[in-house]
Amino acid sequence: MYQPSQTRDDQRLRGPGQAWLMLAVATIGFALNFWAWALLSPLAPRLKDDLGLSSFEQSLLVAIPVVVGSLGRIPVGALTDRFGGRVMFPLVSSATIVPVLFLGLAGHSSLPALLFGGFFLGIGGTAFAVGVPFVSGWFPPERRGLAIGVFGAGMGGTAISALTTVKLVDGLGMASTFLITAGALAAYTVVAALVLRDAPGRSVPAEPPARQLADTLRLRVTWQASALYAVAFGGYVAFSVYLPTYLKTDYGLSQADAANRMAGFVLLAVLMRPVGGWLSDRIGPIRVLTGSLAVVVAGALVQSAGPSLVPMATVAFLSLAAALGAGSGATFALLAMLAPAGRVGSVTGVVGAAGGLGGFLPPLVMGSLYGAFGSYGLGLVLLALVAGAALGFTVTGVRRALTPKKPDAPDTVSTVKERRRV
């Protein structure tokens, strides 16, 4: 059972301009929390040298916040369904301030302290599971793809961290850099508490959180969207993490050049995410996912042959970035269409966790295969096979989920539009 938290009279008092304001504030919060979430990754090489860490310890340092942030989306998504984004956005942002301050002021001097702070830094990564149900409630179904895609562009906060953290530490020192991030989060916490409002008529689940999660795991859309997001967003995460190593090893680029090319990859993927959502509103998420996954298959196969960096490899990587970004946006447009109104947060939490965790296996596989065969080709072929399987799943099982169950029923305007979009 679900209970509307606000009345229809309240809904009539709010215009469309407020929906876009809520989207803008949520997107800024998402970007700031992701900026904080990714602080340790660009500093890992420096911390390795300063503390004498092994390669495994360095990898563990980077992995802890991401794993916690990914898995933490499951309970945070369920809590957002119950308490709303108006409560959860300030709560998540203020909670992230604590580990940021700890790491900047005292927690960067030893590995145990870094791992302890990094664990709680993962809270910042859960902001994604707050924003999707919050934004989804403010927009009608035919505009949710674009709205959630715009919100998803906040994942560019990781790029902000990658491009600025090392420079800020070099110029200002560790403590000042982390204090700047904490200050930005504190300012956003105040703004969010004053400005954010949950959508009128928001559905609130009445059952306990454990039962809510169990019901969410029984939904077909949860597993369909999780599988697709693990490929689309997982692929983006994998390349954003491993691309500098790939380019430095396979093409002999300098660390700075490889990092700049990685930033270009991330930027294009971020920009294409709202485009994927917008296209899903226009032609349907199935068509966008089909096209995106087909491009991933083609791009991975081209790159597996080891082409020259200019122009073929550059074109292949940029094509992969665009396709993975658009596919991520289309996946959540699909989720917004199929998830029950009162469980969007819970479904988002599970799907977001799948996407975050899906980005860790590919770098491990790529590194292992390169160590065994001295080439990344086989790893890219495996990516093409996985994307091909996701493509087949999209045009069969996922398409059936969007097919009207009663084809003999009289066609309404909405039914006709939905069939065209499928």
**Same domain assignment for residues 131 and 271:** no
**Same domain assignment for residues 140 and 227:** no
Give the domain extent around 72: 1-206
Question: Nearest-CA neighbor of 232 among 366, 386, 61, 78?
Answer: 386
* Helix residue ranges, H only, 284-360: 285-304, 314-338, 344-357
Residue that finishes a domain, picked among 206, 240, 258: 206
Cα–Cα distance, 228 to 223 (Å, whole number): 9
Cα–Cα distance, 277 to 130 (Å, whole number): 18
What's the chain's length in residues?
422
**Same domain assignment for residues 271 and 352:** yes
Instruction: Give the H/E segment covering residue 282.
Output: helix 255-283
Cα–Cα distance, 85 to 97 (Å, whole number): 18
Relative orientation angle of helices 40-51 and 111-121, to the nearest 10 degrees: 170
User: Structurally, how many domains does the chain consist of?
Assistant: 2
Cα–Cα distance, 382 to 365 (Å, whole number): 9
At a CB cut-off of 8 Å and minimum separation 6, what does 258 contact? 243, 244, 245, 247, 248
Domain CATH code at residue 268: 1.20.1250.20
**Same domain assignment for residues 232 and 188:** no
3-state helix, strand, coil in the chain (%, to 5): 85, 0, 15
Contact present, 269 and 322 (Cβ < 8 Å): yes
Contact present, 304 and 356 (Cβ < 8 Å): no
**Same domain assignment for residues 222 and 130:** no
At a CB cut-off of 8 Å and minimum separation 6, what does 169 contact? 43, 46, 177
**Same domain assignment for residues 247 and 113:** no
**Same domain assignment for residues 249 and 192:** no
Question: Which residue has 């975050």 as its token pair?
Answer: 356
**Same domain assignment for residues 298 and 246:** yes
Query: Looking at residue 205, what DSSP letter applies?
Result: E
**Same domain assignment for residues 283 and 197:** no
Largest CA distance in the chain: 70
- Tokens representing residue 44 in the block: 């890992």
Residue that finishes a domain, picked among 150, 172, 206: 206
Beta bridge partners of 4: 203
Q: What is the pLDDT of residue 16?
A: 66
Question: Which residue has 């709560």 as its token pair?
Answer: 91
Give the global pTM. 0.78
Q: Write phi, then psi, for 205 (nearest 5 degrees).
A: -65, 140
**Same domain assignment for residues 336 and 269:** yes
**Same domain assignment for residues 223 and 272:** yes
**Segments in the chain below pLDDT 50:** 1-14, 407-420
Q: What is the pLDDT of residue 252?
A: 87
**Same domain assignment for residues 166 and 88:** yes
